[in-house]
């Protein structure tokens, strides 16, 4: 059975993209890579894999993916990030599902790796996203970071997981943390949220305790502790930027550098 169309949005993903495309090679009916003017070898990787490759100016993750969905054929679409892989088990489940679909969209669980370790606690074990859908069954809500798919008709759930290799190393995590925090602060301002010094002070320890203790991140060993610490740092940075910009301490960023909000769902 021929698989669904596959959509991947990219920017400087020459390291991640080969594995992503290889995981759907010979199965996907069509592969479309929409790129935001990468400066590395992303284009060559996509073209060598036989994927369609299109460049488009990046505005936000939701805008880029919604635009790309319009360029696909009617029918089923699987949306991937370049650092995700489709396992044989997930491919088989998708084939079975699409042979007699009960819904027009499906939530797909993700098995997340952090610094080389699969994380089974700390809240990451419940991660999942709506990624398999009929082309016109849903669209992403406008957001600067952590875009969410809205499907008016609801969605079903798959059991097999996408493999998600979240961060290459600590440098990668810290670089993304800054981008996500800046984008998150702008999102708060866009939504008219009141800046709060209290949130900047109290949210980080609350996040750390929630992930490490209540969500049992300690069971992932040192990786779980480090992840909880870094996650706490990120939420603190986001609210600190929001508060500092509102008070004029930190310059605002009305026109952020391209791709600053790019990241994981």
Q: What confidence tens digit (pLDDT) does each residue in 84-99 have?
A: 999 999 999 999 999 9
What does the pLDDT read at residue 253? 60
Mean pLDDT of the 74-93 span: 98
pTM of the model: 0.85
* Maximum distance among all Cα pairs of the chain, rounded to whole angstroms: 58
The C-alpha atoms of residue 130 and residue 165 are separated, in whole angstroms, by 18
pLDDT band at 260 (very low <50, low <70, confident <90, very high): very low
Ranges of beta strands (E only) in 13-127 are 30-35, 52-55, 76-81, 84-85, 105-114, 117-118
What does the pLDDT read at residue 255? 44
Mean pLDDT of the 29-38 span: 97
The C-alpha atoms of residue 9 and residue 85 are separated, in whole angstroms, by 14
Give the bridge partners for 106, in sequence order. 132, 156
The domain segmentation of the chain, as residue ranges, is: 5-167, 170-246
Q: What confidence tens digit (pLDDT) does each residue in 199-216 have?
A: 999 999 999 999 999 999
pLDDT band at 167 (very low <50, low <70, confident <90, very high): confident
Mean pLDDT of the chain: 91
Question: How do strand 52-55 and strand 156-157 relate by DSSP bridges?
Answer: unpaired
For residue 262, pLDDT over 80 is answered with: no
For residue 33, pLDDT over 70 is answered with: yes
Q: What confidence tens digit (pLDDT) does each residue in 232-241 have?
A: 999 999 999 9
What CATH architecture applies to the domain 5-167? Alpha-Beta Complex (3.90)
The C-alpha atoms of residue 63 and residue 107 are separated, in whole angstroms, by 20
Q: What angle do CA 183, 139, 188 make, to 5 degrees?
A: 25
Interacting residues of 44 by C-beta distance below 8 A, sequence separation 6+: 14
């Amino acid at each position: 059975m021929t698989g669904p169309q596959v959509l991947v949005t990219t920017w400087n993903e020459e390291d991640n993209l080969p594995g992503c495309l290889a995981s759907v090679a010979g199965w996907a009916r069509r592969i479309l890579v929409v790129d935001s003017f990468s400066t590395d070898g992303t284009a060559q990787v996509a073209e060598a894999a036989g994927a369609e490759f299109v460049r488009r100016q990046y505005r936000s993750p939701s805008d880029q993916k919604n635009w790309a969905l319009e360029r696909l054929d009617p029918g089923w679409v699987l949306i991937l990030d370049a650092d995700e892989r489709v396992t044989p088990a997930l491919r088989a489940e998708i084939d079975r599902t699409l042979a007699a679909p009960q819904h027009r969209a499906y939530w797909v669980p993700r098995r997340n790796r952090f610094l080389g370790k699969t994380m089974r606690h700390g809240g990451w074990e419940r991660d999942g996203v709506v990624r398999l859908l009929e082309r016109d069954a849903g669209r992403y809500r406008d957001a600067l970071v952590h875009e969410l798919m809205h499907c008016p008709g609801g969605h079903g759930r798959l059991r097999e997981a996408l493999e998600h290799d979240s961060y290459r190393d600590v440098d990668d995590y810290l670089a993304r943390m800054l981008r996500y925090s800046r984008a998150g602060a702008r999102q708060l301002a866009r939504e008219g949220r009141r800046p709060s010094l209290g949130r900047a002070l109290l949210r980080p320890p609350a996040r750390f305790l929630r992930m490490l203790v209540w969500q049992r991140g300690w069971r992932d060993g040192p990786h779980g502790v480090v992840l909880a610490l870094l996650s706490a740092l990120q939420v603190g940075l986001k609210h600190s930027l929001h508060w500092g910009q509102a008070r004029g301490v930190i310059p605002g960023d009305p026109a952020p550098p391209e791709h600053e909000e790019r990241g994981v769902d």
